[in-house]
Amino acid sequence: MRRWLAVLGLLFLAACQPAPGTTTASAPSSLSKMPDGSDVPSSWEELGTDGKQKSKYFPAEQKETNNRMVVALIADCYGKLGDKPALDRCLRQDLVAKFDDSGQGKEECAGQAELDPYVACILMGNIIIDFARRIDSEVDIEKSLWNGPRAFSDFIDKVVVSNAIAACNDEQTELAATRCTFDWLISRLALPEALVKKCSQDLAARERTICIAEAASIRFMNEHVSRAPGSST
């Protein structure tokens, strides 16, 4: 069981990777005006990459959430669109204000010179911490967590394995332990039913893990984007 749970932790980490160009998706057609009434630009090329989606089970939800985040961030920094250095500073400050619930991301991600890796660092770190705290509210968030993918992986492995074993250690077969772990994980994460229903028990364990991890990431983003100034609620 422990070996399988370690694999679960690694799959979760991979599925939580933000889509490349999270802040650079094409402007959403459903949001055609900026706060001052002007038209939304047709693209955000000046902000980074091409905004391709990576979600396997929630591509539509991810695209909508990314687009809403773009509009929310640009709305707050709209007056700086003509000044790239000022825009970069504003977007970084806005990301920290909206998504850095841990209070650690600003310092730990400061070494990322380019905007895209900075976005990935802020989002991934806080998504993983949010996930861990939902599983174990007493978990110790050490700054070493931010040292890179391996540190994230070790952290998730520690949180998932120790708590899942405690919850499902009495199960006598691997199949029963697997089912117990998924039931426990979904319960602890308290994911919206609209997302959970896509992560069917019919999926193979690996695929269901990816689906649940993506659902947790989408939920985190939606919760923060919906409260961000300039976003559509």
- Residue numbers of the domain that contains 140: 2-225
- Nearest to 210, CA basis, from 20, 12, 59: 12
Res 17: pLDDT: 56
Type of residue at 124: M
The answer, yes or no, to whether residue 233 has pLDDT greater than 50, is no
232 domain residue, yes or no: no
In a domain, 7, yes or no: yes
Tell whether 231 is covered by a domain: no
> Does residue 128 register a pLDDT over 90?
no
HEC readout, the chain: CHHHHHHHHHHHHHHCCCCCCCCCCCCCCCCCECCCCCECCCCCHHHCCCCCCCCCCCHHHHHHHHHHHHHHHHHHCHHHCCCHHHHHHHHHHHHHHHHCCCCCHHHHCCCCCCHHHHHHHHHHHHHHHHHHHHHCCCCCCCHHHHHCHHHHHHHHHHHHHHHHHHHHCCCCCHHHHHHHHHHHHHHHHCCCHHHHCCCCCCCCHHHHHHHHHHHHHHHHHHHHHCCCCCCCC
Instruction: Indicate the number of domains in the chain.
Output: 1
pLDDT of residue 12: 52
d(CA 22, CA 208): 24
Domain-located, residue 208: yes
Tens digit of each residue's pLDDT (9 = 90 or more) over 12-54 = 555 555 544 443 333 333 344 444 444 444 433 333 333 444 7
Average pLDDT over residues 51-74: 80
pLDDT tens string 206-231? 788 888 888 988 899 888 886 655 44
Check: CB of residue 182 under 8 Å from CB of residue 41: no
For residue 85, tell me if it sits in a domain.
yes
Q: Is residue 116 part of a domain?
A: yes
Residue at 134 is within a domain:
yes
User: How large a percentage of the chain has pLDDT more than 70?
Assistant: 73
Taking the C-alpha atoms of residue 62 and residue 31, their distance in angstroms, rounded to an integer, is: 16
Per-residue pLDDT tens digits for 102-116: 999 999 999 999 988
| Assigned domain for 233 exists | no
Structure confidence at residue 13 (pLDDT) = 53
